[in-house]
Chains A and B, each alone.
Chain A
Amino acid sequence: MSYGEAFLLGITALAAIFSTIATYMAIMERDLLKAVIFSAIQSTIYAFIYYMLMAPDIDLVYIPVAVGLYPAVIIALIKKTTREEKP
């Protein structure tokens, strides 16, 4: 049994569980600014998962797009419209 592979996949599985927690908080949160911050946390964890799956090219695209561009554009949109979501 390969303990090296089990250790690295174990770290990946732990990161996947944290990403599910961040997705749940992002969908269920009513304050839109906090939802965007949770979405950025989930994207950072996904970037770590892409590194463990040996895909460095996609990692270099994903980090500026999902952690930099999406939150910047959506926060500009929130500033111009509403901040709280009606229940």
Chain B
Amino acid sequence: MKHWIGICVLILTILAISFVVAANINVLLPSTNVRTLAEIYLKYTYYPWDKYFTAMSPEACTSIVWDFRGLDTVFETMVFYLAIIGAIALARGVPLKPPKEIKGEPGLSLIVKTVTKIAPVLIIAVAGSIALHGHLTPGGGFQGGATAAVAPVLILVVFSQFYLLKRGVNKNSMLLLRSIGLTGIGITAFAAVLIGLATGHYAFVLQNQPKPLAPNISLPAFVGGQLISGSLWFFNFFEFLAVAAGFTIVFLLITLPEKLAETKEEKRAAEGGEK
């Protein structure tokens, strides 16, 4: 390969500089103690002896994302939503309809198709499992949604886009699924407030367990002996729906055949040339 001199010089430089830096400067390395804020989060992520500070979930990262810093995640979901709206706006006006007759056999060969028929079912099952147990072990809504988005890519590449369009997986149905997911997230964020309005007590937005100024309202941490950590399970489920549907829309739009989009462009170019 033609870059091997550059690579060898790079590796030797890295090893030499690391030796010099490690001998002189020690403050840049991570230490054996974490910061005080991290110790507080690690202590109170599952602390059943003081119900006012805990999130009742043994998974520290998920409890920070959806309970301790839930507002950050709401804004992140909004940024992702705006990006998908921007992508849909750039591809508007192009009809996503399958043609009346398809010449030949679209997609890859028969062997690939037979093997790929098993894979998307497995992928979506594993993705659902990752999303739903995100409050007990590493996982969560966004992890499951990103994994579930690999299945439509596989189907789009091996079979063709018309296979999905014929079975009802088009832009409008995925937009409906995404809207259901985002509405679910909104309702779960306001769930404690709605319960508080109905029973006449104080409650906060994005509240999971009872808080010092709102000690009467809490979403249940245990249901029938199983730990569901209040609002965390519902957040994970709705985020899984929203993320998987959003990615499917992006892939449907980016694998659009150029012939469907060319006709309108050519029409406009022809009209512009005649003027």
Chain A residues proximal to chain B, CB less than 8 Å: 17, 20-21, 24-25, 28, 56-57, 59-61, 64-65, 68-69, 72-73, 76-77, 80
CB distance from A74 to the nearest CB of B (A): 10
Chain B residues proximal to chain A, CB less than 8 Å: 3, 6-7, 10-11, 14, 59, 61-62, 130, 138-140, 142-143, 146-147, 149-150, 153, 157, 247, 250-251, 254-255, 258
Q: Which residues of B contact A80 (CB under 8 A)?
A: 258
One of A24, A57, A72, A76 near B143 (C-beta < 8 A): A57
> CA–CA, A28 to B258, complex, Å?
30
Q: Do the beta carbons of B3 and A69 come within 8 Å of each other?
A: no
Q: Which residues of B contact A61 (CB under 8 A)?
A: 142-143, 146
Given contacts A60-B139, A68-B150, contact A21 B7 (CB under 8 A): yes
Given contacts A24-B7, A28-B3, A57-B61, contact A76 B255 (CB under 8 A): yes
Q: Do the beta carbons of B138 and A17 come within 8 Å of each other?
A: no
Q: Do the beta carbons of A72 and B251 come within 8 Å of each other?
A: yes
Q: Which residues of A contact B139 (CB under 8 A)?
A: 57, 60
Q: Do the beta carbons of B146 and A77 come within 8 Å of each other?
A: no
Closest residue to B250 on the A side, CB-wise?
Answer: A73
Give the interface SS of chain B, mostly helix, strand, loop or mixed: helix
A-B contact pairs, 27 of them (CB 8 A): A20-B10, A20-B11, A21-B7, A21-B11, A24-B7, A25-B7, A28-B3, A56-B138, A57-B138, A57-B139, A57-B143, A59-B138, A60-B130, A60-B140, A60-B147, A61-B142, A64-B147, A64-B150, A65-B146, A68-B146, A68-B149, A69-B150, A69-B247, A73-B250, A73-B251, A76-B254, A80-B258
> CA–CA, A69 to B149, complex, Å?
8
Q: Which residues of B contact A59 (CB under 8 A)?
A: 138
Q: Which residues of B contact A25 (CB under 8 A)?
A: 3, 7
When A and B form their complex, which 8 residue pairs have the shortest distance between CB atoms, in order from nearest?
Answer: A56-B138, A60-B143, A64-B146, A57-B61, A68-B150, A64-B147, A57-B138, A72-B153
Starting from the known contacts A17-B11, A21-B7, 16 additional A-B residue pairs (CB-CB under 8 Å) come to A20-B10, A57-B62, A57-B140, A57-B143, A59-B138, A60-B143, A61-B143, A64-B146, A68-B153, A69-B149, A69-B150, A69-B153, A69-B247, A72-B153, A76-B254, A80-B258
> CA–CA, A72 to B139, complex, Å?
23
> CA–CA, A68 to B140, complex, Å?
18
Q: Do the beta carbons of A60 and B10 come within 8 Å of each other?
A: no
Q: Which residues of B contact A28 (CB under 8 A)?
A: 3, 6
Q: Which residues of B contact A69 (CB under 8 A)?
A: 146, 149-150, 153, 247
> CA–CA, A80 to B157, complex, Å?
14
Closest residue to B2 on the A side, CB-wise?
Answer: A28
Q: Which residues of A contact B251 (CB under 8 A)?
A: 72-73
Closest residue to A17 on the B side, CB-wise?
Answer: B11
* Most chain A Cβ neighbours within 10 Å, of B130, B143, B149, B153: B143
Given contacts A68-B150, A76-B255, contact A24 B247 (CB under 8 A): no
